[in-house]
Structure formats: structure tokens, C-alpha cells
Chains A and B, each alone.
Chain A
Amino acid sequence: SAVISQKPSRDICQRGTSLTIQCQVDSQVTMMFWYRQQPGQSLTLIATANQGSEATYESGFVIDKFPISRPNLTFSTLTVSNMSPEDSSIYLCSVGARGQEVAEAFFGQGTRLTVV
């Protein structure tokens, strides 16, 4: 299993500003994942963050809008840049069970972002 500490848990931000979300894992993991859930929508994968290389973004998500850092095997940040009200969502970081291909995912507690 993995325990993930995510912060902040919630924030209210002004449009045009940026917010950085942090996730700390209690063990070393190769890949970390960032998801978003917009109101009334499914949890959607934004990007996969690998240590030592650039993040891999899913269709519809770009690095300029969602820059990701992965400085070591236990930590990652996601920045939501130049925010607009459409960015109001729950953001979750996640890891898979280490060493297992078919494995459950573990999640942080989520960041509930409201952009005004």
C-alpha cells in the first residue's frame, strides 16, 4: 500500500493566478499520476509524472497549463496556471501498487479548487 499526503486540501483562487498542488508519498514510486474531476464529470487523467523525465500529458492537457515537477521518487507537484473558472475541480494525485502491473491505485485526499 501507499500513503499519499496531498496539499492544499482546498483553495479559492482569483482568475489569472496559479496554484501549485503538492503530493508526498511514503515510499518510492516510479510513476505518479494527476487526475482532475470537474463538476458533474468523471475523474480524468491529466498526466503521468516520471522521475527524471518530462511528464506525459493526455489529450486535451498541455504542459504550459499544467506544469508538473517530479524531483525525486516520493514527491510531485502539479501547477494549475493562469486559472479560469473552468479550472474549478477536484485534483487528485495517485500511485499504483509498487511492482504490480494489475494493481489498485492509491490516492491523495484531493485538492478542491474554486476559481472566482
Chain B
Amino acid sequence: ILNVEQSPQSLHVQEGDSTNFTCSFPSSNFYALHWYRWETAKSPEALFVMTLNGDEKKKGRISATLNTKEGYSYLYIKGSQPEDSATYLCAFGSGNKLTFGGGTRVLVKP
């Protein structure tokens, strides 16, 4: 059974502040690491799919890094806005079969 863990489970951020949170995953037999944003009553939306050790990807104010050797990825949100409030999920595997972490629920307070 693959173990994918995210921390913290939830976090409150003041609008304008930056934040980051972690996903840890098995470092052996690495395939890909995914990040998704899931807003209430909406579909989870892909942010990044990362495959290379040391990879860093960016989408607007959100970026992610990947360390496959030690089995972790960080997601960063710069200058948080209320619209960033969502649950951020990481998942290990391919689009054909994913093992998800428990998610980090982010609430950005105005």
C-alpha cells in the first residue's frame, strides 16, 4: 500500500501572506507526482504533474518543487488571495491510477 502524506491538514493564511505545505511519498519506483486544487462543489483541477527530480513548476502565484530521492514535494502560494482558499491534494502515480494524500485545506482570510 502506497503511503502519501500531506501536512499540515489545514492552515489559515492572512491575505497577502505567502505559505507552503508538504507532500511526502515513497521514494522508490517513482512515476509522477501530481498537485490538484479542489474547491468546494467543484471538480478537482490539476495544477502540476511533475516527473523529474529537482523539477520546479510555476502557475501564476503557485509553484511546486519536487525531490524524488527523498520523497517530498512542496507547494508554495505567494501573496495568498481569498480565491486561493481550497483543498490542495497531492497524488502519486499516473493519470491512470493515483494514490492521494489527505489534502491540505487552505483558508485565506481577508
A107 to B43, Cβ gap below 8 A? yes
Binds A, one of B58-66, B67-75, B78-86, B98-106: B98-106
Residues of A within 8 A of B36 (CB): 105
Which chain A residues (12-34) contact chain B, with CB distance < 8 Å?
Answer: 31, 33
Q: Are B100 and A101 in contact (CB under 8 A)?
A: no
Q: Are B49 and A103 touching (Cβ within 8 A)?
A: yes
Question: How many contacts between A and B, using CB within 8 angstroms?
Answer: 65
Closest chain B residue to A9, Cβ basis? B41
Main secondary structure on B side of the interface with A: loop
Closest B residue, CB atoms, query A43: B100
Number of interface residues of B (CB under 8 A): 24
Q: At the interface with chain B, which of A67-75, A80-88, A92-100?
A: A92-100
- Most chain B CB inside 10 Å of its own CB: which residue of A33, A107, A109: A107
User: How many residues of A are counted as interface, with CB atoms below 8 angstroms from the partner's CB atoms?
Assistant: 27
Write the chain A residue with the least CB distance to B48: A104
Residues of chain B within 8 A of A101, CB atoms compared: 94-96
Query: What distance in Å separates the Cβ of B66 from its nearest Cβ neighbour in chain A?
Result: 13
- A-contact 0/1 string along B16-48, CB 8 Å cutoff: 000000000000000110101000011110100
Instruction: Flag whether B89 is at the interface (Cβ < 8 A).
Output: yes
**Cβ of A113 < 8 Å from any Cβ of B?**
no
Chain A residues whose CB sits within 8 angstroms of the CB of B49 once the complex forms:
102-104
Instruction: Please state if B103 and A4 are interface contacts (CB–CB under 8 Å).
Output: no
Interface residues of B (CB under 8 A from A): 4, 31-32, 34, 36, 41-44, 46, 49, 51, 89, 91, 94-103
